[in-house]
Amino acid sequence: TAEGRLYLLVAIDRTTKFAFVELHVKATRRVAGDFLRHLIEALPYKVHTVLTDKGTHFTTPGNVASAASIIKEAIAAGETFRAHSFELACARNDIDHRLTKPRHPWTNGQVERMNRTIKDATVKRYHYDSHRQLRAHLADFVSAYNFARRLKTLRGLTPYEAICKAWSAEPGRFRSSPLHQMLGPNI
């Protein structure tokens, strides 16, 4: 925008293709941990696995595997410890954090494709005078994607409809009814 750059954080559910995005002025470890917490609040079902790259926002540099299991053990033992914000969020929410292999971008392909789709629909097509304008347009685009865009991979369902279908088949896997997240006439 005319105000400068923003960092885009994207999460996509592999099964329902539901997308969750946030824009931030800085991309720090704390921001990544908060992003995961916001994602957990936004979804009506429990997140059990997260796949990220080995970026410093998501794990301690040099780690070949997530430290979430070690953090969970330290919490259970009541020990004092220092932890990476994202991995701490994984440990506290009982989420298995997996890391992609180095130089294997295809394992993170859904997010990379969604990044391109978002950029093509927003910053490559339009000019924004402020961050507020970009955030508003991005929120509208993601809402249209999640609640109105029919996807071939979901056999013509929208991501929201796929979540509702999963809820009707297995309601025990959900924390709350996804029907409460339906967009209304005033949104």
Per-residue pLDDT of 22-66, as tens digits, reads 999 999 999 999 999 999 999 999 999 999 888 888 888 877 778
Task: Output the pLDDT for position 108.
Answer: 74
* Domain assignment of residue 81, yes or no: yes
What's the CA gap between 78 and 164, in Å, rounded?
A: 39
What's the CA gap between 141 and 118, in Å, rounded?
A: 8
* Domain assignment of residue 41, yes or no: yes
What's the CA gap between 179 and 164, in Å, rounded?
A: 7
User: What's the distance, CA 72 to chain centroid?
Assistant: 22
Contacts of 125 (CB under 8 A, 6+ apart): none
Overall number of domains in the chain: 1
pLDDT by residue, tens only, the chain of 187 residues: 889 899 999 999 999 999 999 999 999 999 999 999 999 999 999 999 999 888 888 888 877 778 888 888 898 899 888 888 999 999 999 999 988 877 776 777 888 889 899 999 998 999 999 999 999 999 999 999 999 999 999 999 999 999 999 999 999 989 888 887 666 554 5
* Domain assignment of residue 2, yes or no: no
Residue 141 belongs to what H/E stretch? helix 131-148
Task: Output the pLDDT for position 86.
Answer: 92
Give the domain range for residue 157.
Answer: 7-181
**CATH number of the domain residue 152 falls in:** 3.30.420.10
Instruction: Report CA Rg, the chain.
Output: 18
* Domain assignment of residue 1, yes or no: no
* Domain assignment of residue 102, yes or no: yes
